[in-house]
Structure 1
Amino acid sequence: MVEEYPLNEQGDPNFNVGGVKRDLPPELQLEQLASYIEATYEDGPNYLALLPDRITHAAMLMLGSAVDHAMPATKWSGEVVVEKHELGVVFKPSNPTGAWAVSVWDGPDNAKEMLWRPDVAAAAELSGTTILDVDRAEDAQRAVDQLPGPVTAWVLGDTPAPTADDYVFTFPTTNREGFVQVPAGSGLEGTEYYAKGFISTPAEIRRRVQDVAEYLRR
């Protein structure tokens, strides 16, 4: 496997800007992407907020121009209406089905705006579900209680989940009930995605958001 798909690493005399002309399997695309990002960017207070742009840049550099590097928000959220709410932000799709969801992540505010909410907006548009993303995790239950009809809670990581009618969990570290998205090889039950922390290829991020949208659309 290694000889068939050698890593395209910076500093290697055979490094190719824009990737190499081959079809890497998803797990090796992630390895290429993660190796570049980890070698290039240091951790810091803005790391997660800047990660989507860095993923796009790294994918163009490492995986080649023939691959679709569009992130979910770029591809699908153009017609979403964004409205302020006392508890956060509401993402209204262009063709709402009447379904509601509450999304919640207790991450940094800047990362919430740049990393998390763009995916929420894309899922809203794809599913027809109106999604209230709360500013503070502790307000998630209040948000669920305010909304009409059955409400799905979409929870990122190990953020405490409100009591809701249904659940989506993205990258928890323990087994959960509902639609659960887990990193490949985690040993947890759920739909697997190639991810290293918050790093995934744009294609895997799109697949993950599409799967959430499909579940919300049921």
Structure 2
Amino acid sequence: MSRFEDAQARMRHIPEPAEPSEPLPIGEAEAEFTVGGVKRTLSPADQLNQLVSYMDATYPRPDVTAPWRGGAGDRAEADLYLAHLPDRITHAAMLMLGSALDHTMPGVAYSDGITVEELPDLAATLFTPSEPTGRWAISLHPGGWWRGAGIARQMRWQPEVAAAAQLSGTTIVDLDYPLAPEHTVADMVAHVRRALDVVRSHNPQSVTIWGASSGGTLATLLSNDVDALVLTYPSLNEFGRLPDDIRAGAEIPPAESWPRTLVQIALYDDRVARPDLPASVRVVDYHSTHTIATPEESRRRIRDVADFLST
């Protein structure tokens, strides 16, 4: 069993359908931190607050400051934390929000039927849906330009890629692109362009690039080469903080010049600032931090990606 398949199996939680027939009464408990079992109706923002409070108290976050900004640069620790997130969020949500709700993460809920194939010559993974539409996409994992590959990509990012591919019928090539500081942004762009050549050899109906966080910013650098962009919590405002020798003169094209674009924004993002975007860009908000959201909100985010990919 691959890491991807193992991650799916361990996160699987299919509860008995038990939606309340009327709003649950608010019990007597601390509003800030309540273990599941106290019946209450919580807003999406309150659900997120409960989840984040538990996660931060139970699983301390590692230092993810980039090495060029004085961080430890420990990829292994940062990636392991991200790899465990889907599993930990599932179980934390069951505890804090109640086991009667559906706490299935999108990679488990929506990826049945997907075919996964490694493309070692491209340093990529191919996700083929059971009913492909002829639309293709390239996906670029998050990670602040210097992390997010390896186990984090396999266990946190790729299950979401599989879900979006299967839901939308889009064939997705997920890239293990080169990372800083060993490589420059120019190296990353060159890798994506090589993947675009491979994708175009299949005569796709359309080509989209979907990137998250720094992967979203990387996607914009190729906006003139594709039919559409999906940017999940993109770190657009932070791009200028990269050292000159890593950024290698790259500049984000004006958003007015982008193709059809969906930008997903975390309302409580603790890592990146909300970008100022023109009306031509479709923007959707989510009750989420940069890395943590309830399973329900994560499923909504992936459904939105899939809907955009399929139109």
User: Same fold by TM (over 0.5)?
Assistant: yes
Change (3 A) 1:96 1:174: same
Taking only the aligned residue pairs, the percentage that are identical comes to: 46
Aligned length: 211
Deviation, structure 1 residue 7: 3.0
Return the letter of the residue paired with 1:84.
Answer: E
Letter of the aligned partner of 1:196 in structure 2?
Answer: T
In structure 2, stretches of 5+ residues that fail to align are 1-26, 63-76, 179-187, 238-254, 278-282
Letter in 2 for 1:62: M
The answer to whether the 8 A contact 1:8-1:20 is kept is no
Q: 1:146 to 1:43 in 2, by over 3 A?
A: same
Cα contact 2:149–2:176 (8 A) shared by 1? no
Distance in 2 of aligned mates of 1:27 and 1:145: 42
> How is 1:175-186 mapped onto 2 (pairs within 5 angstroms)?
177=258, 178-184=261-267
Corresponding residue for 1:196? 289
For 1:62 and 1:20, the matched residues in 2 are separated by: 9
**Aligned pair partner of 2:195 in 120, 126, 143:** 143
Paired residue for 2:183?
none
Give the secondary structure class of the aligned counterpart of 2:293. coil
**1:41 maps to 2:77:** no
Choose 1 or 2 for highest CA Rg.
Answer: 2
Classify 1:62/1:8 alpha carbon distance in 2 versus 1 (closer, same or farther; 3 Å).
farther
Partner of 1:172, secondary structure, is coil
Give, in angstroms, the shift of residue 181 of structure 1: 0.3
State the match for 2:245 in structure 1.
none
CA distance in 1, matches of 2:192, 2:38: 45
Cα displacement string for residues 129-149 of structure 1 (whole angstroms, at most 9, x for unaligned residues): 000001115222211122133
Pair 59,200 (structure 1): closer, same or farther in 2 beyond 3 Å: same
Does the CA-based 8 Å contact 1:20-1:63 persist in structure 2? no
Q: For residue 169 of structure 1, what is the aligned residue in structure 2?
A: 231
The 8 Å contact of residues 29 and 38 in structure 2, kept in 1 or not, is answered as no
Q: Which residue of 2 aligns with 1:101?
A: 137
- Does 1 or 2 have the higher relative contact order (CA < 8 Å, sep 6+)? 1
CA deviation string 1:137-192 (max 9, x = no partner): 52222111221333100011023123422100000133755110011266445200
TM-score, scaled to structure 2: 0.63
Q: Distance in 1 between matches of 2:172 and 2:100?
A: 33
